[in-house]
Chains A and B, each alone.
Chain A
Amino acid sequence: MTHLNVETLSSYLDGELVDAKVRKLETHLDQCPRCQARLRGLRRVVERLSVIVPIGPPTYLEPEVRRFVAVQQSRESTWSRLELQMARFSAQSPLIPLFAVVIALVLIIYLLASGLSRQVGSGTEIVIAPTEIENSEMREIGSRVFEKQADRWVEQGWIGKFPVRKVDTKGAELAGWITIEPALAELEELGAVVWIVLDDEPVEIDYSEP
């Protein structure tokens, strides 16, 4: 006798099976004590999980969040003021290129000091902490956020090992993902290499060449 697998039993508990499958499953369950026992075990787990009740966040959290948000806002407004000053300065001074280089150097040193970690061991491993990068270029595609890093776009929130497997821009795999997540079709507009996480796997899609 072929027994029911755990995916089928668990989906049955959640009412996620189509009617035809439910009838077949119940017929099998009627005559299989082993599958009945496994289903009872899974049901007991779900019942025991339901005992866990949500609890409220600690009272100190809200003022902490407000404080950090205020600091973040102040940093962002400082940057905006700097941009304004630069625009005014560029209208008056011929030293713009030199000033821009100095600013770029300061920014690079700041990024390195604030935790951007790159380990390029024979070009095989890079660890990036996107949350530490300030004032970088961002794009939102569907529910994903991408950050421009050098000549590529990296999905925000991903920290992991690279290089990643390459996915063909014209292949069936990507077409399949676009069917599931239509917004991914917009990646092409980026016109650059994209590092993205698909099904928990970091992959590279190269849109830099037409």
Chain B
Amino acid sequence: MAATSADCRPRVDPDLALIDRHRHGDPDAFDELYEEFSGMVFNLALRLSGNVEDAADLSQETFLKVHRYLAGFRGRSSLKTWVYQVALNCCRSRFRGKAAQLRASSQSLEQIEDLPDLDRTPEEKAIVRSEGDVVIAALQQIPSPYREAVVLRDLEGLSYQEIAKVLRTRLGTVRSRIARGRDCLRVILEESRR
């Protein structure tokens, strides 16, 4: 079958086309980008920060950075990976130095396994919470490098290769962080059931 004229047109990467429109001052380009990525950014920030207010602040900060630096983006990684990186950097910057975050980050797997009762009274344990709430609370208790990897893999559905790009780390490190994060969660969730 003969190729139609449409088939012969060079394919334009939609990400690059969007960035090009943004460079040329098209305000709809940023609106489209916000539409596409706002849910993704907000949920990442929510799962890493653990509360809606921080997640909204971090989303706002992320999109301001995206707006500011988008024109310089040359498309060597996918736009999605880049937006994830910007969001993750915002989250890390926000929580670096916060005592709770440092405490969580400095906990080794062994320390987590040693936690006797996760500071809950029997009455608190008796409170029935939704399955999701329990898992979200457990996520906040694991070290942040593990939490980032688990969130990107099990909540955002990224492949190991994509996670390695977002975290700028080796595939082996990604594999290890996902595994250790899941194992930390296993210990915490089993403990919370007792």
Contact = CB atoms under 8 A, between A and B. Distances in A.
Interface of A: 5-7, 9-11, 14, 16, 41-42, 44-46, 48-58, 60-62, 64-65, 68-69, 72, 129, 131, 138-140, 142-145, 156-160, 180-181, 183, 197-200
A60 B53 CA distance: 11
B85 interface: yes
Interface string B162-194: 000101111001011011101101100110000
B86 A157 contact: yes
A195 to B, nearest CB: 14
B48 interface: no
Given A42-B182, A69-B63, A160-B96, A198 B168 contact: yes
Contacts of A68: 60, 64
A51 B175 contact: no
Contacts of B55: 57
Nearest to B65: A131
21 contacts: A6-B183, A7-B175, A10-B175, A11-B175, A45-B185, A46-B182, A54-B155, A58-B56, A61-B59, A65-B34, A65-B63, A138-B72, A140-B69, A143-B85, A143-B168, A144-B168, A156-B69, A157-B89, A159-B96, A200-B145, A200-B167
A52 B77 contact: no
B106 to A, nearest CB: 14
Interface in B30-66: 30, 34, 38-39, 41-43, 46-47, 52, 55-56, 59-61, 63-65
B132 interface: yes
B67 A72 contact: yes
Contacts of B154: 46, 49-50
Contacts of A9: 179
Nearest to A130: B93
B81 A143 contact: yes
Given A14-B153, A52-B136, A142 B76 contact: yes
Contacts of B72: 138-140, 145
A208 to B, nearest CB: 23
A7 B109 CA distance: 13
- Interface of A, secondary structure class, is mixed
A45 B138 CA distance: 11
Given A14-B160, A49-B135, A61-B38, A42 B64 contact: no
B155 A48 contact: no
Interface residues of B, number: 63
Contacts of A54: 39, 43, 155
A69 B67 contact: yes
Nearest to B183: A6
A200 B176 CA distance: 14
B131 A57 contact: no
Contacts of B189: 44-45, 48
Nearest to A10: B179
Give the 6 A-B CB pairs with smallest separation, nearest first: A157-B89, A10-B179, A57-B42, A143-B77, A49-B154, A7-B179
Contacts of A48: 131, 134-135, 185, 189
Contacts of A57: 38-39, 41-42, 55-56, 59
A200 B92 CA distance: 11
A61 B56 contact: yes
Contacts of B145: 200
Contacts of B76: 142-143, 183
A146 B132 CA distance: 39
A60 B56 CA distance: 9
Contacts of B169: 199-200
